[in-house]
């Protein structure tokens, strides 16, 4: 690489992020202008560095070595395209991504006028032209996708013209393509009881039929061109191919689904099987939480949608499903109850009880700190919840102020078990919020109950001081402090801090897991004298209560074989839920 630098006639400017280039090879020796425009095959490429005489690019297709080319490079600062011609000097496969190539170019600035490329003189061109790029830059589409996927997207979308009055989509048809409107407008109508009802108008920059790339479900409305239209289509298979190379693109699916759930249009489908989304509660790093309603029971619920970049990770999803089945059986007053888990829209929805109250971080923002007696009460409840989960072999892995919910009666609930895993699990992702993350997890070591205890110690520090212990301006610096610096003394901020609380913070937050509390019950023992002083009597729940239901089933003798099969299936399902089935026969009824 140094030899290449030494051979360059002028220094290259490194472009961070890369600029977008529009590249196409040309035959400089044969063929007429007509032949040239009929055979052109342009490609959007990433330009990593450039000078007056050379450039380095990455392309999603193989570029022939020694080929002559034209190249337009977009200057994002000036919002202008600069035109070059030249010859390909070398190519090399990208060892990290199949189907991608690096190329070194020899450039010659063009001075003569070149006939601009347009759809009239380039037969069969499907991808955008440089003149279309400014439109794409202004859309929400490019705002949501990662920069390294932009050229792949531009090389995949296909152009479509629609005349006024033509139909783009029909209600109930199964579609596999969504469209981005570049110009013109269209009307969406819904057919109900044989009559068409207009429900909305879509214009430049809007996306039409977006759920096609999420689920491929039937269209929810008719869409007809109100004026002449110019659109760009992206199929589900094209999206899949791009997201294989650029997994971060999957976050765009989250936005598409979220837009549907938060829309108030008639066509919006906000059902998750037997649950209906009614409002949004909040967004987190791994999920979006909605308020919902169980349709049959008229019962309020919370619905957490896992973001697609995590839900579509096979390793994470497998682990999540295995542990979700265990967590769904939890029955403890300090742990949020999981009612259901739904797999829909290419992600996972966790249905939980709906809680009234505030998250602990909201309380801290409102009041600054938590009083000492209330802190001890909260600490006992958190430890009780964690102890119960750990007895079941599960650690939370994301203990933090936002994941501790305080109800109006000061009853605490541990929420957000989306990253929970069995004790000793090697981290599939660096789970948890960085300000609370244990040093061993930053180092990629196995997670156990002591990791939760470290996070609890940071949370306890925050409760009594009103702030977290380490500066958070830089993620790298914060990780280094967790790994190399002891937690600051909270008594320097709160001089009258009870020694029992101070001691718990220091021991829980020891950088060496072996020197921390090895179990949350040890914290309960250390804090018990202070709890008695404050008159706090909350105790852990006894083991889960069991209930009994009696069913009386009456059947005809001729149906005995079918009834026996039914009972066998029922018994198998019941046992998987931990239900004990007992049967007794009566001779006659």
Tokens of 190: 């819904």
- The single-letter DSSP state of residue 393 is T
Helices 499-508 and 449-465 pack at an angle, to 10 degrees, of: 140
- Provide the terminal-to-terminal Cα distance of the chain, rounded to the nearest Å: 91
Question: Angle at which helices 372-391 and 520-534 pack, to 10 degrees?
Answer: 150
Asked whether 422 and 393 are in contact (CB, 8 A), the reply is yes
> Among 400, 403, 429, which Cα is nearest to 307's?
429
Calpha distance 338→336 (Å, rounded): 6
CB atoms within 10 A of CB 366: 8
Nearest to 301 by CA among 268, 264, 338, 330: 338
In sequence order, the β-bridge partners of residue 103 are 57, 91
> Is the distance from CB of 114 to CB of 83 less than 8 angstroms?
yes
To the nearest 5 percent, what fractions of the chain are helix, strand and coil? Answer: 35, 25, 40
- Distances, alpha carbon 26 to alpha carbons 23, 33, 89, 124, 250, in Å: 10, 10, 15, 17, 36
94 is catalytic: no
- The burial class, CB within 10 Å (0-12 / 13-18 / 19+), for 358 is middle
How far, in Å, are 401, 456, 458, 476 from residue 462 at the CA level? 8, 10, 6, 21
**Do 544 and 331 touch, CB atoms closer than 8 A?**
yes
Integer Cα distance of 399 and 397 in angstroms: 6
Catalytic entry in 46, 398, 416, 427: 398
Q: How distant, in Å, are the alpha carbons of 225, 401, 512, 519 from that of 507?
A: 67, 19, 10, 12
Question: Which tokens in the block code for residue 12?
Answer: 């290259």
The answer to whether the CB of 458 falls within 8 A of the CB of 469 is: yes
Cβ-Cβ contacts under 8 Å for 579 (sequence gap 6 or more) = none
Within 10 angstroms of residue 51's Cβ, the number of other Cβ atoms is 14
Helices and strands of the chain, counted as H and E runs = 17, 25
The tokens 């034209």 sit on which residue?
A: 70
Whats the size of the chain, residue-wise?
Answer: 589
CA distances from 167 to 181, 184, 226, 236, 297 (A): 14, 14, 10, 20, 41
Active site residue ranges = 398
């Amino acid at each position: 690489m140094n030899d290449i630098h030494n051979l360059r006639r002028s220094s290259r400017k490194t472009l961070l992020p890369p600029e977008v280039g529009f590249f196409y090879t040309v035959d400089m020796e044969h063929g007429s202008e007509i032949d040239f425009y009929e055979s052109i095959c342009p490609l959007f490429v990433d330009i990593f560095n450039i000078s007056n005489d050379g450039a380095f690019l990455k392309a999603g297709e193989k570029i022939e070595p020694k080929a002559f080319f034209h190249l337009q490079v977009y200057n994002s600062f000036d919002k202008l395209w600069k035109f070059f011609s030249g010859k390909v000097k070398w190519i090399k496969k990208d060892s990290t991504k199949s189907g991608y190539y690096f190329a070194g170019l020899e450039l010659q600035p063009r001075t003569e006028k070149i006939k601009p490329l347009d759809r009239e003189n380039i037969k069969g061109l499907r991808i955008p032209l440089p003149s279309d790029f400014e439109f794409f830059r202004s859309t929400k589409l490019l705002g949501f996708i990662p920069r390294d996927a932009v050229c792949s997207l531009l090389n995949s979308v296909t152009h479509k013209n629609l005349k006024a009055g033509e139909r783009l989509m029909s209600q109930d048809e199964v579609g596999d393509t969504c469209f981005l409107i570049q110009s013109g407008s269209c009307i969406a109508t819904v057919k109900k009881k044989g009559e068409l009802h207009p429900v909305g108008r879509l214009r430049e920059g809007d996306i039409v039929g977006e759920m096609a790339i999420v689920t491929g479900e039937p269209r929810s409305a008719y869409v007809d061109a109100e004026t002449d239209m110019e659109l760009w289509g992206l199929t589900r298979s094209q999206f899949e191919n791009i997201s294989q190379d650029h997994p971060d693109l999957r976050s765009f699916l989250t936005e598409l689904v979220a837009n549907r759930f938060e829309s108030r249009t008639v066509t919006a489908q906000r059902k998750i099987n037997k649950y209906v989304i009614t409002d949004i509660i909040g967004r987190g790093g791994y999920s979006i939480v909605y308020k919902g309603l169980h349709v049959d029971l008229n019962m309020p619920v919370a619905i957490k949608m896992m973001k697609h970049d995590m839900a579509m990770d096979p390793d994470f999803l497998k682990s999540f499903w295995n542990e979700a089945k265990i967590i769904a059986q939890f029955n403890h007053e300090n742990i949020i109850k999981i009612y259901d888990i739904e797999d829909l829209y290419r992600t996972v929805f966790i249905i939980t009880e709906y809680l009234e109250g505030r998250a602990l971080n909201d309380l801290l923002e409102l009041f600054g700190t938590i009083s000492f007696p209330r802190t001890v009460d909260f600490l006992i409840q958190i430890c009780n919840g964690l102890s119960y989960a750990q007895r079941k072999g599960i650690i939370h892995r994301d203990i933090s102020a936002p994941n501790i919910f305080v109800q109006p009666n000061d009853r605490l609930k541990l929420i957000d078990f989306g990253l929970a895993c069995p004790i000793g699990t090697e981290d599939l992702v660096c789970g948890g919020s960085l300000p609370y993350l244990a040093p061993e997890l930053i180092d990629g070591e196995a997670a156990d109950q002591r990791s939760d205890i470290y996070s609890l110690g940071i949370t306890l520090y925050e409760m009594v001081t009103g702030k977290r212990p380490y500066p958070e301006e830089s993620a790298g610096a914060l990780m280094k402090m967790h790994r190399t610096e002891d937690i600051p003394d909270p008594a320097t901020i709160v001089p009258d801090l009870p020694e029992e609380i101070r001691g718990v913070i220091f021991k829980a937050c020891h950088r060496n897991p072996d020197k921390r509390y090895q179990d949350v019950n040890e914290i309960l023992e250390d804090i018990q004298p202070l709890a008695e002083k404050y008159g706090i009597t909350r105790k852990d729940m006894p083991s889960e209560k069991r209930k009994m239901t009696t069913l009386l089933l009456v059947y005809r003798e001729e149906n005995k074989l079918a009834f026996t099969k039914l009972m066998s299936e029922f018994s198998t399902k019941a046992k998987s839920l931990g239900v004990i089935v007992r049967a007794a026969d009566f001779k006659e009824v």
